[in-house]
């Protein structure tokens, strides 16, 4: 998932504002107690999300895929004072842990944590969005994008994680492509060809596609 030499990554992280104790705690607990800890956003991506959010100063953020709450807390720190983060996840087994992390962040009043299938939850949400972060099942990335694109406020941004998919998007001739890779290739092309947005693919961690609604 990392595309630069380990020593360069370490240099980047050493020149990025340090994680605070809560984020370090979430990282430790995730690695100790939750399956697939590599899904955690982590230091470099978390701070990137936090700074993007602070620059945008959104009133409403939608996060599709909460996991253990690391990225949600990072983004919630950039909300406007009366803003809200709505974060959706289907895994109810780790919900008590995630809620405790949100409580410890001091931002629980601005975080609306909902459990269920995002495809069902999103249409029931009221209002439009200033920022959306897609980091859930890859099979539905296109569906998630289509559900939110017409509900983005002008200048709002959609970020999608894992769009480089550990380099699998560089398909070699004659090599079989798995379903998730195929979907991510289609997602990246769809965003690139969408006249409603301007976009940049950031090679941070496993790739973040950033699309700004015109």
Distance CA 129, CA 152 (A): 5
- pLDDT tier, 30 (very low <50, low <70, confident <90, very high otherwise): very high
189 class by beta-carbon count within 10 Å (0-12 exposed, 13-18 middle, 19+ buried): exposed
pLDDT of residue 60: 98
Q: Specify the CATH number for 6-213; select among 3.40.50.880, 3.40.50.150, 3.40.50.300, 1.10.1040.10.
A: 3.40.50.150
pLDDT per position as a tens digit, 143-199: 999 999 999 999 999 999 999 999 999 987 778 899 999 999 999 999 999 999 999
- pLDDT tier, 4 (very low <50, low <70, confident <90, very high otherwise): confident
C-beta separation of 52 from 41 below 8 A: no
Residue 20, phi then psi, degrees to nearest 5: -85, 180
- Chain-centroid distance of CA 119 in Å reads 16
CA nearest to 146, candidates 86, 66, 64: 64
User: Can you name the residues that pair with 211 across neighbouring β-strands?
Assistant: 158, 199
Strands ordered across the beta sheet of 60-64: 111-115, 84-89, 60-64, 129-134, 152-161, 208-213, 197-202
* 1 has a pLDDT exceeding 80: no
CA nearest to 213, candidates 138, 137, 128: 128
Region 90-107 average pLDDT: 98
| Token output for 135 | 């980091």
* 205 has a pLDDT exceeding 80: yes
* 3 has a pLDDT exceeding 80: no
pLDDT of residue 173: 74
pLDDT of residue 164: 95
| Token output for 67 | 């996991």
pLDDT of residue 46: 97
Distance CA 53, CA 48 (A): 9
pLDDT per position as a tens digit, 135-145: 999 999 999 99
pLDDT of residue 90: 97
pLDDT of residue 171: 87
pLDDT per position as a tens digit, 31-90: 999 999 989 999 999 999 999 999 999 999 999 999 999 999 999 999 999 999 999 999
- Maximum Cα interatomic distance, the chain, rounded to a whole number of Å: 53
């Amino acid at each position: 998932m990392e595309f630069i030499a380990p020593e360069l990554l370490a240099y980047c992280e050493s020149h990025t504002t340090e994680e605070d104790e809560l984020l370090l705690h979430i990282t430790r607990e995730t690695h100790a107690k939750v399956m697939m800890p590599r899904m955690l956003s982590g230091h470099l991506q978390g701070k990137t999300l936090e700074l993007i959010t602070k620059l945008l100063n959104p009133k409403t953020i939608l996060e599709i895929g909460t996991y253990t709450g690391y990225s949600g807390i990072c983004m919630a720190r950039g909300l406007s004072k009366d803003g809200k983060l709505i974060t959706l996840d289907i895994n109810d087994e780790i919900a008590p842990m995630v809620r405790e992390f949100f409580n410890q962040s001091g931002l629980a009043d601005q975080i609306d944590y909902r459990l269920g299938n995002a495809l069902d939850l999103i249409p029931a949400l009221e209002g439009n969005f200033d920022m959306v972060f897609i980091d859930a099942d890859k099979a539905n990335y296109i569906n998630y994008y289509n559900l939110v694109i017409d509900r983005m406020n002008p200048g709002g941004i959609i970020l999608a994680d894992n769009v480089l998919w550990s380099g699998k998007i560089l398909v070699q001739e004659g090599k079989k492509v798995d379903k998730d890779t195929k979907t991510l290739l289609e997602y990246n092309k769809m965003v690139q060809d969408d006249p409603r947005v301007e976009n940049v693919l950031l090679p941070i961690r496993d790739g973040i596609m950033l699309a700004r609604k015109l």
